[in-house]
Structure 1
Amino acid sequence: MIRISTIFVGICMMLVAASLGMVLYAIAGVSGYESAIVALATLTVMILYNAVSMRIKDRNESTGQITDLSRGTADLARQVAEFGRRLALVESKIASASSANQERIQTVVGEIGELGALVKQLATSVASHEDMLTAMPAPATVSAASAPPSPTVKAVAVADAPLAVKDTVTPTAPVIVVRPEAAPTRNDAQFTAVVKNAIADNRIDIYLQPMVTLPQRKVRFYEAMTRLRDDKDQVITADEFIGPAEAAGLMGQIDHMVLLRCMQVLRRLMVRNKDVGVFCNMAGATLANAETFAQCIDFLEANRALAPSFVLEFKQSAFRNLGPIESEHLAALAQRGYRFSIDHVTDLRIEPRDLADRGVRFIKVPASLLLDPKHSSNSDIHPADLSDLLGRFGIDLIAERIEGERAVVDLLDFDVRFGQGFLFAAPRPLRPETPANGGASNPPAKELAKEPAKAPTDPNGPARSASSTPARPEPPRSTGNAALARRATGPN
Structure 2
Amino acid sequence: MKTTMARASGRTAGLWSLSLLGVVTLAPLAVIAPMWSALGTGAMALAVAGIAQFRLSRVGKRCDKLSQEVGILSQRLLALEEAKQAGPAAPATDGLHSDIQELTVEIGLLSGIVRDLSGVVRSQDSEIAGLRAQVVAAEARTAILPAPAPRPPIAAATVARAPLIAPPVEPSPAFADLQAQHEPQPLPPARIPPRPIPPRPASHPVGPGEGAILAAFEAGRVEVYLQPVVSLPQRKVVAYEALARLRIEDLTLEPEHFLPALERHGRTTELDRRMLHRAGTIVRHLGRRGSDARVTYALSPLSLFEPGFLKDIARIAGDDQALAGLEIALPQESWRGLDAGQLGLLAALRGRIGFCLDRPDDLRFDAGELAANSIGQVKVPAALLLRPTTPLSRLSDIAVEDLAPALARARIRFVVTEVGNEADVPDLIDLNIPYAQGTAFAPARPVRGEILSDPSPDEPPPPQDDPTPERRPFRSVLRRAG
Q: Taking structure 1 as the reference length, what is the TM-score of the superposition?
A: 0.47
* Higher relative contact order (CA closer than 8 Å, sequence separation 6+): 1
Q: Taking structure 2 as the reference length, what is the TM-score of the superposition?
A: 0.48
Structure having the higher Rg: 1
